[in-house]
Structure 1
Amino acid sequence: MRKLMLALAATVAFAAAAHAEPVRISVGSYNLNNLPFPVAAGLGLYKKQGLDVTVENFASGGSKTLQALVAGSTDIAVGFYDHTIQMQSQNKSVVGFVELARNSGLVLAGGKNATFDPAKPETIKGAKIGITAPGSSSDFFVRYYLQRHKIPADSVSLIGVGSGSAAVAALEQGKVDLLVNYDPAATFIVAKGVGKILIDARSDEGAKEIYGGIYPTSVLYATQSYIDANPETIQKVTNATVEALKWMNTHTAEEIVATLPAEFISGDKETYTQAVTNAKAIFSTDGKFNTTDIETPLAVLKSFNEKVAAKTIDLSKTYTNTFVDKAQALAN
């Protein structure tokens, strides 16, 4: 009888797997802003929703993920909210449906020989600055800083170095003088003695100092056409992700790291865990978009992006809380 029950269970499991709904999700990088996505996968929450998720990691940055989404080679992207604003300025409808990171998480770090002093903004001139990729939010960070201090954009060199250990190595090896990046890179820089944090936007106070407000970053987004054609899939992805956000809010960094696949963890586990501790404050606890906070990325982009500045942007078309609201209702 027991053998029969085991056989039946195996058959049911096989049938469930065979009927799992495929969905392609691409992630811009394994920086910690995107952490809720692998946590949801590690906890088995997408499988729990009946989804078979194929993941593609564009380690070079979120702009590549955005290109894949617009080209139709992926269904959903884990990328930054400001990309939805950029796309609207180009008459393309890309919509965020779950907020993962409610704040920037970016830092600007200097190598051992860096001469930049934030108290004297003009000292940034001539610097080679590492960013994750051209067109990324780390790129925007630098451009906005230059614009605010009336420093010509061509007075620095911007170099794409990716994120995580590759970015830290670029600073350590002197390939760049300054580095704009996220955790875990930010924590590694200090732990390894590679350099020091000169501008820190991980806290709300730091973000307000740099941007003038809270700057939401990592979100799940898709094209409006995909959302309209696949609302049930979007809802399942949302249900799983919102559950992961709630779980992260009530668990320690050690417990969070324990859910992750090995390839997501950069460097030694102890330092990486410290990076998660340092980054915990940036994560959303419920997945909802705040209508005040999303004004900040728009203001930043308008300051140097001619297409955004020339267009009347309707922020209500860049995000939706509909799926998160339903996920919360289902959970209660």
Structure 2
Amino acid sequence: MRKLMLALAATVVFAGSAFADPVRISVGSYNLNNLPFPVASGLGLYEKEGLEVTVENFASGGSKTLQALVAGSTDIAVGFYDHTIQMQAQRKDVVGIVLLARNSGLVLAGGKNSTFDPAKPETIKGAKIGITAPGSSSDFFVRYYLQRHKLSADDVSLIGVGSGSAAVAALEQGKVDLLVNYDPAATFIEAKGVGKILIDARSDAGAKEIYGGIYPTSVLYATQAYIDEHPQTIQKVVNATVEALEWMNSSSPEEIVQKLPEAFISGDRETYVKAVANAKPIFSVDGRFNEAEVQTPLAVLRSFNDKVAATEIDLKKTYTNAFVDKAPRKSTN
């Protein structure tokens, strides 16, 4: 894992006093929802913007990345939008500055011996369910599913197994009966014959079936204090990210994978390319937050998070399109 962290960091740390804008960016997972971040790095877009970027806490988990941001040990986090809602419920201003993934991309997969049948939700009782980490969106996915079907988290065992190859191994080795995870793990599960996808929220239709609407996930977020103090740095980071999103939208999965650090690619390259192809529809094409779609994670959180349910959440304080709207567009150049 440390080797992977250093490989990614090496692609985005630029030495030299010519770069006036140092910025620390933490990323909590290498699932494909966060893919625009290493793509921006691989394309050299942070360097193009004159940024000196240091990557921290790679693969430490989304909740730990959020903790690092709030503690001030990182400047910007690559994490999930619903964290901004949770932080507002705790009276902390954490703001999404650019949207990476407009849909969750989550799947629920069953191992070879799984007895869970989505047509009979009660059959999930007693299952050991692998999630990326407690407090993650995969955790929310399970809890919301259980609640909708009048079941409780006490009816199952939730086990943090991470993402990528570690998550697939947990399912393959029988450490968990079911796995809720993202690509590339989702694609690897079926490609390697480890199990079968039972619920698929990668498509808009699947997301609406699970959540009742589109569920924006991966974003870049920062504290409001940092945004106020470093607006130029934020703008440069957003500029690079928006350009990466535009490039991804017009590029093939093969071209996208070619721009990634080799250590970032899980499993064999051919299957990873398939995973990128499967995940491609979830990515934002312009980085903008949609006022209607951000209502979905709020509804999910309110269903089981007492603090969020008890707080009057102002969603307009959880994200901003101000920097995205100022980012240069290829289509207008």
TM-score (norm 2): 0.94
1:29·1:163 contact (CA, 8 Å) conserved in 2? yes
CA distance in 2, matches of 1:97, 1:84: 11
1:143·1:153 contact (CA, 8 Å) conserved in 2? yes
Q: How far has the Cα of 1:18 moved from its partner?
A: 3.8
- 2:270 is paired with a residue whose SS is helix
CA distance in 2, matches of 1:205, 1:15: 46
Cα separation, partners in 2 of 1:153 and 1:23, compared to 1, 3 Å = same
1:1-332 alignment, distance < 5 Å: 18-328=18-328, 332=333
1:31 partner letter: N
1:60·1:132 contact (CA, 8 Å) conserved in 2? no
1:98·1:219 contact (CA, 8 Å) conserved in 2? yes
Partner in structure 1 of residue 5 of structure 2: none
1:254·1:273 contact (CA, 8 Å) conserved in 2? yes
Deviation >6 Å, runs of 4+: none
TM-score (norm 1): 0.94
1:244 partner letter: A
Cα separation, partners in 2 of 1:187 and 1:57, compared to 1, 3 Å = farther
2:93 partner letter: S
Partner in structure 2 of residue 7 of structure 1: none
Could you tell me which runs of 5 or more consecutive residues in structure 2 were left unpaired when the two chains were aligned: 1-13
Q: How far has the Cα of 1:15 moved from its partner?
A: 9.4
Matched positions, count: 319
Q: How far has the Cα of 1:283 moved from its partner?
A: 0.2
- 1:115 is paired with a residue whose SS is coil
Q: How far has the Cα of 1:183 moved from its partner?
A: 0.1
Q: How far has the Cα of 1:62 moved from its partner?
A: 0.7
1:155 partner letter: D
| Identity across the alignment (%) | 83
Q: How far has the Cα of 1:16 moved from its partner?
A: 6.3
Could you tell me which runs of 5 or more consecutive residues in structure 1 were left unpaired when the two chains were aligned: 1-13
Cα separation, partners in 2 of 1:161 and 1:15, compared to 1, 3 Å = closer
CA distance in 1, matches of 2:255, 2:329: 27
Partner in structure 2 of residue 6 of structure 1: none
How large is the Cα RMSD of the aligned pairs?
1.4
CA distance in 1, matches of 2:318, 2:266: 32
2:149 partner letter: H
1:60·1:162 contact (CA, 8 Å) conserved in 2? no
2:143·2:152 contact (CA, 8 Å) conserved in 1? no
Report which of the two structures shows the higher radius of gyration computed on alpha carbons: 1
1:235 partner letter: Q
CA distance in 2, matches of 1:221, 1:47: 20
